[in-house]
Amino acid sequence: MIYFIYFVVIFLSNTLGAVSGMGGGIIIKPVLDMLNYHSLISITFYSSVAVFTMAIASTYKQYKNGIQVNWKNSLFVSLGSLIGGSLGDKLLHTFISFFHSEETVIAIQSIILILTLLLVLFYGKFSSFSFHFHSISSYFIVGIILGSFSTFLGIGGGPINVAILMLFFGLDMKESTVYSIITIFFSQLSKLSSTFLTTGFHPFDLSFLAIIIPAALFGGYLGGHLSNKLHSRQVHLLFHLIVVLVILINVYNLLQVLGYI
């Protein structure tokens, strides 16, 4: 039964994540936390595999759709997210070692995510301000920030990527989703490579990958297909609905960890 639940969660999350540029992990991570079937490190690993697979499928579909991307900017965002992905993974393990409690770290992640998503929601609804940076170095620095943040939280990137890309570079929603997916791909590649080179994959129940990878592939491909069909306004609406949903899930998780539920 748990395999079926994981398949449904990852398929739906990655479909929505690929359409909105959120990457799926923003939904997968808190939902798997709520199910509480695996440890925090295992959940982060499964989420990374799902999001990484989704990014491959979605990028391929977007490319086939003829989406135009500035590959020079993408390269420097990607290089930054590779470095950031490694930094975020180290930070997560440092927090777990320091607090000696996964529940405490989950609570910290939930609080950070709730506050950040509230800011994202506020920016998306009430502000159109943008810095309109264009330099290569700004793409590189933003890549580091996004890679670190998303990997530490175990979410792959999500609405935080999209909002920051819109804020710093003045991209519209659909352009931001494409760059977000590319950033997610490289940050999760860095995180998975770091895991492989340190602990390896043997601490995890790899039988779940037989469910996770197909679900992520189907979801990412379908999401990439739907993204090409939807108007930017529809993507914008879906984006904000998912942000509200994820905030509510994280509030539930926080209350659960604090013992109120």
* pLDDT by position in tens, the chain (length 261): 889 999 999 999 888 877 776 667 778 888 888 888 898 889 989 988 988 887 787 777 767 766 667 778 888 988 898 898 889 889 998 999 999 888 899 899 889 989 988 988 888 777 777 888 889 999 999 989 988 888 888 776 667 788 888 888 888 777 787 788 788 888 788 888 888 888 888 889 999 999 999 998 888 778 877 877 777 778 778 878 888 888 898 898 889 888 877
Q: How far apart are CA 80 and CA 227, in angstroms?
A: 26
- Supply the range of the domain harboring residue 66: 2-257
Q: How far apart are CA 174 and CA 127, in angstroms?
A: 17
Alpha helices in 127-231 (DSSP H): 136-153, 158-169, 173-198, 209-229
| Neighbour tally for 38: CB within 10 Å | 18
Q: How far apart are CA 36 and CA 57, in angstroms?
A: 28
Buried b (16+ CB within 10 A) or exposed e, 249-261: bbebbbebbeeee
* Angle formed by the axes of helices 25-35 and 232-257, nearest 10°: 30
Residues counted in the chain:
261
The pair of structure tokens assigned to 257 is 């960890």
Which helix (H) or strand (E) is 95 found in, with range? Answer: helix 71-99
Q: How many domains does the chain have?
A: 1
pTM: 0.80
Give the per-residue pLDDT at 138.
Answer: 92
Buried b (16+ CB within 10 A) or exposed e, 193-216: ebbeeeeeeeebeeebbebbbebb
Q: How far apart are CA 246 and CA 234, in angstroms?
A: 18
Beta-carbon-side half-sphere exposure of residue 68 (alpha carbons within 13 Å): 0
**Region at 24 (left for phi over 0; alpha for psi -120 to 50; beta for the rest):** left
232: Cβ contacts below 8 Å, ≥ 6 apart? 172, 173, 174
Q: How far apart are CA 135 and CA 124, in angstroms?
A: 24
Q: Report DSSP state, residue 39.
A: -
